[in-house]
Amino acid sequence: MDPVLFLVGLVKVVLGGLVAALGIWLALRGLSRILGSQPVEELKQGNVAAGIVHATSLVALGMLVQHAVLATSDAVDLTVRASSFQPMMVGRLLLVATLHVGLSLGVGVAVLGLGILLFDRMTPGIDELAEVRKGNVAAALILSAMLLVLALLTAPGLQSALDGLIPFPQLPEGTLRAPS
């Protein structure tokens, strides 16, 4: 048994859980403000359409933030395995991880919110948000599909942009590095 590896695994579980909880809170609060909806009230009323859209927004945000969690997890592995481990490295890692994950959550909520607003403007014959509030499941499915496609297509760009913030070590000349 490797107690260090076990401890690192537990730290990653806690980190993932904290990011998920923060992401859920941000997605529900942030998107509800942007969209002018009240997810808790809509769910209490049994609005299936609203439930579909809110559930999909959580999945889409998870897709956008997944890279930040993986990058932080990799940084934890590199820090623990570094031959020159120093306690100050942990503080710097926490700062970079907080910045990385926080930015990805904020940008993710903004991208999804703006995407919904733009999609609503691009379909002038129907107000998808109003239809979802009324319980229109068909409108919810289209809006949900748009959220997933938006997350799938913007996640690589978000990943590349945020990778520019991580202080990666300089690799020796001639070393190949896989693209993000």
Tokens coding 46: 């049994």
How many C-beta neighbours within 10 Å does residue 37 have?
A: 19
> In the predicted model, is pLDDT for residue 151 greater than 90?
yes
Compute the distance between CA of residue 19 and CA of residue 134 in angstroms, rounded to an integer: 32
Nearest partner of 54 among 129, 123, 118, 117, judged by Cα: 129
Residue spans of the domains in the chain: they are 10-163
Question: What's the pLDDT band for 140 if we cut at 50, 70, 90?
Answer: very high
Cβ-contact 104, 67 below 8 angstroms: yes
In this predicted structure, what is the pLDDT of residue 11? Answer: 79
Better-scored residue on pLDDT, 62 or 83: 62
Return the residue matching tokens 């690799």: 171
pLDDT reported for residue 96? 77
Model pTM score: 0.78
53-58 mean pLDDT: 88
Query: Residue 150: its pLDDT value, please?
Result: 93
> 79-107, pLDDT tens digit by residue?
766 666 676 777 777 787 788 888 888 88
| Tokens at 121, concatenated | 């403007």
* Mean pLDDT on 59-71: 86
| Residue 179 confidence (pLDDT) | 53
